[in-house]
């Protein structure tokens, strides 16, 4: 990457000499001779370092103009390193400049070696800062996305085997891909799979739940903002597009954004460039776009709720992920994977399903798809009182009968008739304790141990839930 240096001095012979020196070292140089022109360039373009004279025509010795310029440059780009120079240099002025925010200083007449060394050091520090803040933002996002990486992909059905092959092939292209399918079918997981098999796999994969971004925060979330760009912008913020640069951006729930956000997104995708809010610096978009929706976008286009031109931009190719009920061969292998995972996590020794439980897993129609399957297996594990999961542990149909469900009895029914989706945390905890007491036929030591509780913590809970 060619580093760009901004130089400012009112003496054109100084500017010419610096230009010649810096260009001969492979730098790109933009030079100006007035403070106004300096600020204008800093607003327009991204520089790696600024090398500025402190004195201009207005007064030629005090360095006041230079101090003012440092302050204003910092307002525009607080991370831009500024190296100052002056022909009337004194230690005092150099110290004042550093206090005002300059990173280093050189005295005129400069020694070429020393000047180049100073500039290179500042460029390196600057790029470490930029990478550092990008990594910090990426890190926060990655923590949220860690769940994606937790499971091995199960694809036993013919349709999913074919889908995986197709995804692997398409991953190598840079095409925009739209994934459609019901909730919980694995769209997010497959988006990451495409990224992992793409030529951008060493770069970031940034997932954005478009449905969760409010209209007012849309631009700042997606494009970032400068410090002070609006009342709450206390710090500069890197947007999702910038974070995903060179990698992949995954726009989940794409049909959930309003028409005005669609227009903003379309502009960026068409022009393939964007600016942070409050900045006039344009950044070129270099990333792969994968989006996903569970909505019928064709219908939304007809009803005017989704822009057709945006749809075309997002969708060089559409892939539909089938619902779990349409690929029954995946149900048991998935259920087994979830059982092994949850049993390991909670240290509960249940390894398999009874034949009848397996049959009912296959017969069920899974409106919540794989996410629902995972939840039901997790719950079954806690309801299970034997060595393998039985039909009763799966609790199919219990949610519809929630109204009649007992949630207070201490006889073990409470856990079996409650639904994790609607219970309070206390209800869930009580249900689990009751089921475990039953499993260990009331043996407090074994029950407490299996719950990972000390005996006193266990007894405190028995009291709390009136189970003594
Ligand atoms: N084939 C698969 N093998 C293993 N786990 C899977 C598979 N498909 C989905 N999962 C798991 O199921 C859960 C739901 O998948 P995911 O979040 O990718 O679905 P989604 O279609 O993006 O859902 P939503 O539309 O609600 O965002 C995740 O925990 C995911 O890891």
Report CA(41)–ligand 1 centroid distance (Å). Answer: 47
CA angle 71, 74, 75 (to 5 degrees): 90
Beta bridge partners of 59: 56
Least confident stretch, 339-348, 364-373, 425-434 = 425-434
Q: Who contacts 185 (Cβ-Cβ below 8 Å, separation ≥6)?
A: 321, 322, 323, 324, 369, 370
Quick one: which of 333, 339, 345 has its CA closest to 374? 339
Token duo for residue 342: 């949850």
pLDDT of residue 140: 60
Report CA(305)–ligand 1 centroid distance (Å). Answer: 27
Q: Who contacts 205 (Cβ-Cβ below 8 Å, separation ≥6)?
A: 145, 191, 192, 195, 196, 244, 247, 248, 250
Name the residue at shortest CA distance from atom 26 of ligand 1. 183
For residue 85, report the phi and psi dihedrals to the nearest 5 degrees. -145, 150
| ipTM associated with this complex | 0.97
Mean pLDDT of the chain: 84
Sort strands 248-252 and 205-209 into parallel, antiparallel or unpaired: parallel
pLDDT of residue 151: 58
Residue 279 pLDDT level (bands cut at 50, 70, 90): confident
Name the residue at shortest CA distance from atom 8 of ligand 1. 186
Q: Is the pLDDT of residue 145 over 70?
A: no
Ligand 1 and 161: CB distance under 6 A: no
Ligand 1 and 155: CB distance under 6 A: yes
Quick one: which of 419, 326, 417, 340 has its CA closest to 369? 326
R_g over Cα of the chain: 31
In a 3-state reduction of DSSP, which class is residue 123? Answer: helix
Taken in order of first residue, the domains within the chain and their CATH numbers are 4-129 (3.40.50.2300), 150-322 (3.40.50.300), 325-464 (1.10.8.60)
Closest atom of ligand 1 to CA, residue 191: 18
Residue pair 38/73 in contact by the 8 Å Cβ criterion: yes
Token duo for residue 353: 């399903």
Q: Who contacts 171 (Cβ-Cβ below 8 Å, separation ≥6)?
A: 193, 194, 195, 196, 197, 198
Cα→Cα distances 147→151, 345, 366, 390, 407, Å: 8, 14, 21, 28, 31
Integer Cα distance of 159 and 447 in angstroms: 44
Chain segment 318-337, per-residue pLDDT in tens:
999 999 999 999 999 999 99
Report CA(148)–ligand 1 centroid distance (Å). Answer: 8
Ligand 1 and 189: CB distance under 6 A: yes
Chain segment 399-416, per-residue pLDDT in tens:
433 333 333 333 333 333
Chain segment 96-122, per-residue pLDDT in tens:
888 888 888 888 888 898 899 999 989
Q: How many CB atoms lie within 10 A of CB 40?
A: 14
Torsion sign across C-alpha atoms 302, 308, 310, 315: positive
Closest atom of ligand 1 to CA, residue 148: 31
Chain segment 204-263, per-residue pLDDT in tens:
999 999 988 888 889 999 999 888 878 777 778 888 999 999 999 999 999 999 999 999
* Helices 425-439 and 369-383, packing angle to 10 deg: 50
Integer Cα distance of 191 and 167 in angstroms: 9
Closest atom of ligand 1 to CA, residue 160: 1
pLDDT of residue 237: 84
Report CA(274)–ligand 1 centroid distance (Å). Answer: 31
Ligand 1 and 294: CB distance under 6 A: yes
CA angle 344, 383, 326 (to 5 degrees): 80
Beta bridge partners of 225: 237, 277
Q: Is the pLDDT of residue 89 over 80?
A: no
Q: Who contacts 162 (Cβ-Cβ below 8 Å, separation ≥6)?
A: none
Residue pair 248/257 in contact by the 8 Å Cβ criterion: no
> Which residue pairs, CB below 8 angstroms and at least 24 apart, start in 102-108?
102/70, 106/51, 108/14
Report CA(437)–ligand 1 centroid distance (Å). Answer: 33
pLDDT of residue 147: 44
Report CA(374)–ligand 1 centroid distance (Å). Answer: 10
pLDDT of residue 72: 92
Q: How many CB atoms lie within 10 A of CB 189?
A: 17
Element (H, E) at 457: helix 455-464
pLDDT of residue 55: 79
pLDDT of residue 59: 54
Q: How many CB atoms lie within 10 A of CB 17?
A: 15
Closest atom of ligand 1 to CA, residue 252: 27
DSSP 322-359: PPGGG-GGGHHHHHHHHHHHHHHHHT----EE-HHHHH
Beta bridge partners of 342: none
- Residue to probe by mutation, ligand 1, list 147, 163, 181, 184, most atoms within 8 Å of CB: 184
* Helices 355-363 and 331-346, packing angle to 10 deg: 120
Q: How many CB atoms lie within 10 A of CB 41?
A: 19
For residue 215, report the phi and psi dihedrals to the nearest 5 degrees. -55, -40
Integer Cα distance of 158 and 166 in angstroms: 12
Ligand 1 and 151: CB distance under 6 A: yes
Ligand 1 and 370: CB distance under 6 A: yes
Q: Is the peptide bond before 109 cis (omega within 30 degrees of 0)?
A: yes
């Amino acid at each position: 990457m060619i580093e760009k240096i901004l130089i400012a001095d009112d003496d054109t012979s100084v500017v010419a000499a610096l230009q010649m020196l810096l260009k001969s070292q492979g730098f790109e140089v933009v030079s100006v001779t007035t403070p106004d022109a300096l600020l204008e360039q800093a607003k327009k373009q991204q520089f790696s370092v600024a090398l500025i004279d402190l004195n201009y025509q207005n007064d030629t010795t005090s360095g006041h103009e230079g101090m003012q310029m440092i302050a204003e440059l910092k307002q525009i780009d607080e991370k831009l390193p500024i190296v100052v120079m002056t022909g009337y240099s004194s230690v005092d002025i150099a110290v004042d400049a550093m206090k005002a925010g300059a990173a280093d200083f050189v005295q005129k007449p400069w020694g070429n070696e020393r000047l180049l060394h100073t500039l290179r050091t500042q460029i390196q520090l600057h790029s470490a800062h930029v990478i550092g803040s990008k990594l910090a933002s990426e890190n926060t996002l990655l923590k949220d996305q860690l769940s994606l990486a937790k499971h091995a992909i199960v694809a036993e059905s013919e349709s999913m085997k074919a889908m995986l092959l197709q995804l692997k092939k398409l991953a190598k292209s840079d095409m925009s891909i739209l994934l459609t399918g019901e909730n919980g079918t694995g769209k997010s997981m497959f988006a990451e799979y495409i990224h992992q098999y793409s030529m951008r796999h060493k770069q970031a994969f940034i997932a954005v739940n478009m449905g969760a971004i409010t209209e007012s925060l849309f631009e700042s979330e997606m494009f970032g903002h400068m410090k002070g760009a609006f009342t709450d912008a206390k710090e500069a913020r890197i947007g999702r597009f910038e974070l995903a640069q060179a990698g992949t951006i995954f726009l989940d729930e794409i049909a959930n954004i309003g028409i005005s956000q669609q227009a903003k997104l379309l502009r960026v995708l068409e022009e393939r460039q964007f600016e942070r809010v409050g900045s006039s610096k344009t950044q070129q978009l270099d990333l792969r776009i994968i989006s996903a929706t569970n909505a019928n976008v064709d219908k939304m286009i007809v009803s005017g709720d989704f822009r057709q031109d945006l749809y075309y931009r997002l969708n060089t190719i559409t892939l539909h992920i089938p619902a779990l009920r349409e690929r029954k061969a995946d149900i048991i292998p998935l259920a087994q994977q979830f059982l092994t995972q949850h049993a390991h996590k909670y240290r509960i020794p249940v390894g398999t399903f009874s034949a009848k439980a397996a049959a009912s897993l296959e017969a069920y129609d899974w409106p919540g798809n794989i996410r629902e399957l995972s939840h039901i297996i997790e719950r079954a594990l806690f309801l299970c009182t034997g060595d393998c999961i039985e039909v009763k542990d799966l609790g199919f149909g219990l949610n519809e009968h929630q109204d009649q469900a007992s949630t207070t009895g201490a006889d073990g029914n409470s856990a079996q008739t409650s639904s994790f989706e609607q219970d309070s945390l206390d209800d869930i905890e009580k249900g689990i304790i009751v089921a475990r007491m039953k499993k260990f036929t009331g043996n407090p030591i074994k029950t407490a141990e299996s719950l990972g509780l000390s005996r006193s913590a266990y007894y405190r809970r028995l009291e709390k839930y009136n189970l003594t």
